[in-house]
Structure 1
């Protein structure tokens, strides 16, 4: 009987070990134009941060309202950063001026606003715990 009880306890322990992953809800606010698409990219390291094609996960959706919600499911606990842009003309890229400053809306987790250079992972990172929800304000 003790053996069966021990096996049951061990199986419950394994189940809780797998339940460590959780969703991240990203609410994007202050979207000015109801056209184009929003691309939200999730990064899990400094080495990959804001490098095209190096996203940990990414989502793209057509803009339908001034606030859009994106949910990344099944994320392990750890440090992440979010970068997003409003692709108003739907050309698949964040258009910039001659100085490299975005001409389309953009935003980062922790609502970090870069001053004279691109942000660093350290500036925008947050700790993903059980079922995080973050709000990011779009900048134009």
Structure 2
């Protein structure tokens, strides 16, 4: 009887572990209207607490003539926002005009008005499937 209880406990633990492992997905982001092939795209995935500060996950993507895309693998299910800017001059910073408006191309998830400062509520989305894709337009 004791052996059966131990085996059932182990089986339960393994099944719970596999359920937890399934709470991650791959997030692929494709970029459209990238007008210049020089420079790199700085892609950040943000959570609410760090929105537009330091990304939870980030990658730098080379730009090519065919368009660009990036995949983030094994991202935990949850609410996120994507922000990307095209660093044309290679200074690793999103350059801005004197009024604070970006002077380099950028794109963001959600329904962002390009003439207003982005908000979490307008940019957020839920990652809740094994594979999810976004198309961001500059």
Displacement of 1:18 in angstroms is 1.7
| Count of matched residue positions in the alignment of Structure 1 and Structure 2 | 134
Displacement of 1:16 in angstroms is 2.1
- Equivalent position of 2:89 in the other structure: 89
**Runs (4+) of structure 1 moved beyond 4 Å?**
none
**Superposed CA offset, 1:37-70 (max 9, x none):** 000111011x31112xx21011112211352111
- Equivalent position of 1:34 in the other structure: 37
- Equivalent position of 2:107 in the other structure: 107
In structure 2, relative to structure 1, the CA distance for the partners of 1:87 and 1:66 (3 Å cut) is farther
- Equivalent position of 1:59 in the other structure: 59
The higher radius of gyration belongs to 2
Task: Please report the RMSD computed on the Cα atoms of aligned residues, expressed in angstroms.
Answer: 1.8
- The answer to whether the aligner puts 1:122 opposite 2:121 as a matched pair is yes
Unaligned ranges ≥5, structure 1: none
Pick aligned residue for 2:21 from 12, 15, 18: 18
In structure 2, relative to structure 1, the CA distance for the partners of 1:121 and 1:66 (3 Å cut) is farther
Q: Distance in 2 between matches of 1:66 and 1:49?
A: 30
Tell me if the contact between 2:62 and 2:68 (Cα under 8 Å) persists in the aligned partners: no
Tell me if the contact between 1:81 and 1:125 (Cα under 8 Å) persists in the aligned partners: yes
Displacement of 1:11 in angstroms is 1.6
Unaligned ranges ≥5, structure 2: none
Displacement of 1:9 in angstroms is 4.8
Q: TM-score w.r.t. structure 1 length?
A: 0.85
